[in-house]
């Protein structure tokens, strides 16, 4: 039996779940390691290095591109030919260029090139990332988007929708626009998920819209403080929810927002929440990145082509929402669940196994 070491560089969470679900049924003995994010980076790196040398692994599967897992793998690949494959949902150099500036972008761009050049295969969460990896030197690649458990995320019945709104103290007749994600404030961007909802709320003429923000992070208190007192009843913050409660929050949503920056970071991404929105029958409004046109279009609307923190985006969103009808929402929502079928874990698992078992053989 082949031996596969599986490492999630982001620690436990969505990536770790993806790693375990994709490897189900694989013709290999899998050992799992979630990088401990509480450890200093050097200590976490040493821990991974010891693990790499603890057994004669046939291959290593790296979910994520964190340096605590990536640098030891590059070292072991160069030193003794250890074979590894990488799965990523972000352009590494582009992420640091946009969030930290040119120097960080340059340094991590070199790291990204080395990581892909020494791997035996790349798994991109989008076809755009797979193309970049091949360009940077990955010998082969496949696209396996962020997957969804279609038995957990379902289209709610009318009763379930009513109960979900009641649990969040949202009036039944309100149109609920929402976002689910990590609300981490990026000072360089002056933005975190949810900001566009609060700023749009301030500009709305209609009074039957509630903004629902699900998640936690350094930006949460900023978002709460940005809501004017007269509008606080129309802004709901749940904080971080256990995974099993996220579907209930989605049952209360009518329109899910997915905003990305139109640059070398956002243009390559597909948020892990996209398939969950679609599987829950939520219509999606999304930044006009390639992923919108490839994966969403029949089930939603493109956002105006502006940065998520740009006041012009908020102004145009408010004009659009003021004119939006329930008929339009229902029409787009009816197309959501069929699109989600392409993200089914069962389909993703089969494609992953075919790709990895070929590499293992």
Could you read off the pLDDT of 18-31 as tens digits, one per residue?
A: 999 999 999 999 99
Banded model confidence at residue 12, pLDDT cuts 50, 70, 90: confident
Answer yes or no: is 262 within a domain.
yes
| Cβ(37)–Cβ(11) below 8 Å | yes
Q: How far apart are CA 185 and CA 191, in angstroms?
A: 6
Tell me the pLDDT tens digit for each residue of 39-82: 999 999 999 999 999 999 999 999 999 999 999 999 999 999 99
Pick the closest to residue 356 from 149, 120, 92 (CA basis).
Answer: 120
Range of the domain at 24: 3-147+344-360
Banded model confidence at residue 14, pLDDT cuts 50, 70, 90: confident
Query: Cα–Cα distances in Å, from 178 out to 76, 87, 112, 195, 199?
Result: 44, 28, 33, 11, 13
Q: Is the same domain home to 51 and 176? A: no
222 burial type by CB count under 10 A (0-12 exposed, 13-18 middle, 19+ buried) = middle
Tell me how many domains the chain contains. 2
Q: Is the same domain home to 293 and 190? A: yes
Q: Is the same domain home to 180 and 137? A: no
Q: Is the same domain home to 83 and 101? A: yes
Tell me the pLDDT tens digit for each residue of 133-155: 999 999 999 999 989 999 999 99
Answer yes or no: is 152 within a domain.
no
Segment holding 32, helix H or strand E: strand 29-34
Answer yes or no: is 207 within a domain.
yes
Tokens of 194: 């949810």
Question: What average pLDDT does the chain have?
Answer: 96
Q: Is the same domain home to 301 and 169? A: yes
Q: Is the same domain home to 326 and 270? A: yes
Show the CA angle centred on residue 238, arms to residues 235 and 243, nearest 5°: 140
Q: What is the pLDDT of residue 282?
A: 98
Q: Is the same domain home to 241 and 279? A: yes
Strand, coil or helix: what is 174?
coil
Strand, coil or helix: what is 39?
coil
Q: Is the same domain home to 78 and 168? A: no
Q: Is the same domain home to 136 and 163? A: no
């Amino acid at each position: 039996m082949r031996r596969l070491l599986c490492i999630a560089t982001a620690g436990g969470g969505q990536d770790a779940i993806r790693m375990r679900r994709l490897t189900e049924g694989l013709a290999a003995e899998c050992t799992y390691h979630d990088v401990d994010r509480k450890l200093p980076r050097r200590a976490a790196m040493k821990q991974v290095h010891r693990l790499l040398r603890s057994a004669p692994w046939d291959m290593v599967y790296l979910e994520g591109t964190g340096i605590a897992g990536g640098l030891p793998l590059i070292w072991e690949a160069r030193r003794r030919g250890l074979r590894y494959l990488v799965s990523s949902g972000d352009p590494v150099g582009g992420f640091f260029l946009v969030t930290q500036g040119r120097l960080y972008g340059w340094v991590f761009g070199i790291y990204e090139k080395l990581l892909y050049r020494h791997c035996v295969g790349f798994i991109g969460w989008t076809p755009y990332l797979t193309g970049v990896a091949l360009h940077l030197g990955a010998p082969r690649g496949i696209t396996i988007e962020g997957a969804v458990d279609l038995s957990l995320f379902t289209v709610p019945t009318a009763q379930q929708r009513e109960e979900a709104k009641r649990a969040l103290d949202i009036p039944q007749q309100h149109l609920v626009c929402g976002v689910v994600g990590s609300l981490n404030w990026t000072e360089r961007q002056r933005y975190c998920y949810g900001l566009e909802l609060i700023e749009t709320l301030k500009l709305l003429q209609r009074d039957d819209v509630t903004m629902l923000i699900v998640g936690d992070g350094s930006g949460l208190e900023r978002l709460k403080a940005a809501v004017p007192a007269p509008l606080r009843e129309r802004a709901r913050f749940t904080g971080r929810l256990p995974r099993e409660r996220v579907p209930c929050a989605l049952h209360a949503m009518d329109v899910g927002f997915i905003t990305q920056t139109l640059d070398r970071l956002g243009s390559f991404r597909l948020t892990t929440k996209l398939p969950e929105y679609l599987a829950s029958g939520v219509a999606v409004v999304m930044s006009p990145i390639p992923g919108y046109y490839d994966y969403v279009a029949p089930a939603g609307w493109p956002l105006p082509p502006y940065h998520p923190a740009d006041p012009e985006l908020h102004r145009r969103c408010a004009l659009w929402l003021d004119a939006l009808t329930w008929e339009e929402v229902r029409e787009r929502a009816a197309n959501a669940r069929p699109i989600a079928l392409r993200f089914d874990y069962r389909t993703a698992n089969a494609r992953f196994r075919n790709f990895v078992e070929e590499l293992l053989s």
